[in-house]
Amino acid sequence: MRLPKVKRQERLQETIEETPFITDEDLAKKFDVSIQTIRLDRMELAIPELRERIKTVAKNQWNETVRSLPLEDVIGEIIDLELDKRAISILDIGKEHVFTRNNIARGHHLFAQANSLAVAVINDELALTTKSELNFKRQVHQGERVVAKAFVHGVNEKGLTVVKVDSYVDSELVFTGEFHMYRSTEKRGESK
């Protein structure tokens, strides 16, 4: 049974406050209404679209935290970050990311998302990629959302921080990379 508009909007606002990264599509399914109805409800409640909510949360939460590069230089939107441990970003593949002939994402966009996340997770003023090992698991298409997850694995024998990044569309692995990162302050004593 559908909720009356006022009750639906109350629950919509609560749901977005609890899970700010929920999509309009997921909200439409949850409340058994059209996507257009969700968008109208959001407009009436002055709740911004997902991309703007992500930017707001990211700027408020990580602008002071990300040290190795400005937040606007990260490819994708950071949605979770624990420096020198882990980070997550999302990238919605749009027309500007794909080959016009077949709507398949250009590989350098997936690499850029993963590489910039590997840089952002480093707790240092300067972090540079010295080496990367990449594996593209499947093609990514326009309209898909890529979720990149970075994990710091420690320091290798050369004193470089090793960051592993796996990128997913839904729960399917589409890209994996291992990044060896130079940092301006050494992290010796830790091992891979």
Domain ranges of the chain: 5-47, 53-183
Residue 173's SS3 state is: strand
pLDDT more than 70, % of the chain: 86
Please give the pLDDT value at position 188: 41
Please give the pLDDT value at position 192: 39
The class (CATH top level) of 53-183 is alpha beta
Looking at per-residue pLDDT, the higher value among 31 and 191 belongs to 31
pLDDT, tens only, 116-129? 999 999 988 888 99
Looking at per-residue pLDDT, the higher value among 190 and 170 belongs to 170
Please give the pLDDT value at position 146: 96
Looking at per-residue pLDDT, the higher value among 80 and 182 belongs to 182
The class (CATH top level) of 5-47 is mainly alpha
Burial 30-54, CB ≥16 within 10 A → b, else e: ebebeeebbeebbeeeebeebeebb
Q: Is the pLDDT of residue 94 over 60?
A: yes
Q: Which residues pair with 86 in a beta bridge?
A: 82, 151
Looking at per-residue pLDDT, the higher value among 10 and 49 belongs to 10
Please give the pLDDT value at position 53: 72
Strand spans (E) along the chain: 77-82, 86-92, 127-136, 145-155, 161-169, 172-183
